[in-house]
Chains A and B, each alone.
Chain A
Amino acid sequence: MFARLCASLLPSFPRKCKVTASAGWNFAGRLVKRLGPHSCFIDSATGHTIGPEELPRLIAAYGTSLISAGLRGGDRVLIGCDLSPSSALVYLGAIYAGLVAVPVDERALITSAPMLVEATSAKAAWSEAGWGREGTCKPSVICLEGDLARDSAGIIPPADCAASDLAALMATSGSTGVPRFVMVSHGNLIANTEAIVRSQSLAANERAMLILPMSYCFGASLMHTHLYQGGGVVFDHRFMFPDRVLRAVAQYGCTTFAGVPTVYNVLLRRSNIRRIQMPGLRRFLQAGGGLARERIIEMRELFPLVKFYVMYGQTEATARISCMDPDRWLEKPGSVGQPLDNLTISIVDEQGIAVQAGQVGQLLVKGPSICSGYFNDVEETRRVFCSGWLRTGDLARQDEDGFLWIEGRTGAFLKIRGLRVSLAEVESRVAAIPGVYECGACAVDHPEAGEALVLLIVPDQGARLTTEGIRHCLPAHWTLDSIRFVSELPKTSAGKVVRPALSVLAKDLHGTA
């Protein structure tokens, strides 16, 4: 029966993913083959479980349904992700079928579908909840929702793909609020997944607790690595109530927990992590910005038998770039570890010339997991990607043992709740507010958001500005630490704002507040 259905579907199967000497690079195809007795998807809130027999069939069935809906190889599919097994099935099914998966936040998809369709030229959009009355899915787009396996009549084999064929477009937070999409190939995914697996010594019986969205490369890579090794994934969208997640870690025997700095800050300050036993846990993973050493020490002391991995990465590098061996963390606290074993790094000065060992410069990375560029953005691609090298925009140094230390950003950015925000963008938005003469913005550490904004504002003469009034003119997701009204900003003789001096001034004012 299965063979007959395959045969009947094969002749019309799209060949955008070309058959080449390197056929067999289909990432999801490989992943499906590697699923094992421990593979599963579990929805933590409902307990619904997809077991090892069902999972490979469902991934293929979802892929088949997408093709049956009229999509062809290389077509882009927007996927509303809400930390659920079904959105993961659509994502993996799309890649399996040779389509290009574009995972985005479910709420963003519902509210901004036309913008996302335009930015990605998507042919279809899938929403778990359905489009309902609010749905603004364009008529030209195939709107899909809910369970796709329900209508699937048969199952197709994985599309034959070359390493360079696109598998996914991953959104990266553009500072302007409009996402930029990184083009991730099947080869990128395979290379990064395998390198991460090696760096974390993942076994075949692992189970990840996934609280990070799949539309974020860290969340996606957590799922990829665990499935690739034959393990399982527990999806939990309830981190608002961290105790429930911690109890689910214990209940479902999760071996890996991953979070950004905010997650660990919340766990240590606003959860019962000290009381909830999680005996199966083997490792914590942390990436997405620097977590204070004191918090890492606290976590290590609370869980002496659980390895705490600090990692560093970028969406433009598929996901991860370096990983800190937990056993060497005490030797190198503050380092983001060594580059993954299939990456080459270079640290260069402003002229692009390699700096001397131990000196700080911009970190460049090269290797099979470095993506080819941004979708439909030639200019930005040219700026960031050059002859296979990724210009990370991060200032770093490498010590004599090969460990990387991130020292700052070349561009003036801060990360609020994991989203990159340009200080120049903040300054121009604030400066546009009536009554503001000029504004200097800088970042301070924030216990929940990671970093928050301090605004130094020079008011127009006679203007009556209030903190509340300024706050209302800014996007709600820009976490503000404080606003200070000053008579002038520190500047060079050329009239350029001196950023380091701005930070010092902000700290001084902070101290006297």
Chain B
Amino acid sequence: MSDTDYVLSRVQEAFASAFDVDPKLVTMETSASDIPLWDSVGHLSLASSLEEAFGITLDVDELMEMENVREIVRIITPKLSEKV
């Protein structure tokens, strides 16, 4: 499993936890318009789920960039290597 696949699978779990959706439906192309509960409050729930799942902290500027799953994976991946 590549790093990206690993991050994506954990991101899918975080989506399932934050929005109660089927993780298999979450793809790199998924954006807020695809998930009804992904609104301003949902965004914060998602951030908390991601922070918990990966043991990382997302700052305000990163939250502003998390427009879709691809962006989320892009933001999280380097944070994981920093942790190692």
**A431 contacts B by Cβ under 8 Å:** no
**Which residues from B are CB-within-8-Å of A240?**
32, 38-40, 42-43
- Chain B residue nearest in CB terms to A105: B36
Q: Evaluate contact between B37 and A476: CB separation under 8 angstroms.
A: yes
Which stretch (A144-152, A241-249, A286-294, A343-351) binds chain B? A241-249
Expressed in whole angstroms, the Cα–Cα distance for A412 and B32 within the complex equals 33
The 7 closest A-B pairs by CB, nearest first: A476-B20, A239-B40, A241-B64, A240-B43, A240-B40, A448-B41, A243-B64
**Which residues from A are CB-within-8-Å of B61?**
243, 272
**Which residues from A are CB-within-8-Å of B41?**
262, 266, 417, 448-449
Task: Count how many chain A residues have C-beta atoms less than 8 Å from C-beta atoms of the other chain.
Answer: 20
Q: Evaluate contact between B64 and A266: CB separation under 8 angstroms.
A: no
Contact mask for chain A residues 232-243; partner B; CB cutoff 8 A; 1 contact, 0 none: 000000011111
Chain B contact residues: over half helix, strand or loop, or mixed? helix
**B1 contacts A by Cβ under 8 Å:** no
Expressed in whole angstroms, the Cα–Cα distance for A477 and B61 within the complex equals 26
Expressed in whole angstroms, the Cα–Cα distance for A37 and B60 within the complex equals 38
Expressed in whole angstroms, the Cα–Cα distance for A7 and B36 within the complex equals 46
Q: Evaluate contact between B64 and A244: CB separation under 8 angstroms.
A: yes
Q: How far is the CB of B82 from chain A (nearest CB, A)?
A: 22
**B45 contacts A by Cβ under 8 Å:** yes
Q: How far is the CB of A99 from chain B (nearest CB, A)?
A: 28
**B44 contacts A by Cβ under 8 Å:** yes
Counting chain A CB atoms within 10 Å of each CB, the highest count among B32, B38, B41, B61 belongs to B41
List A238-269 residues whose CB lies under 8 Å from chain B.
Answer: 239-244, 262-263, 266
List A111-140 residues whose CB lies under 8 Å from chain B.
Answer: none
**B63 contacts A by Cβ under 8 Å:** yes
Q: Evaluate contact between B32 and A270: CB separation under 8 angstroms.
A: no
Q: Evaluate contact between B44 and A448: CB separation under 8 angstroms.
A: yes
**Which residues from B are CB-within-8-Å of A173?**
none
List A413-432 residues whose CB lies under 8 Å from chain B.
Answer: 417
Contact mask for chain A residues 202-226; partner B; CB cutoff 8 A; 1 contact, 0 none: 0000000000000000000000000
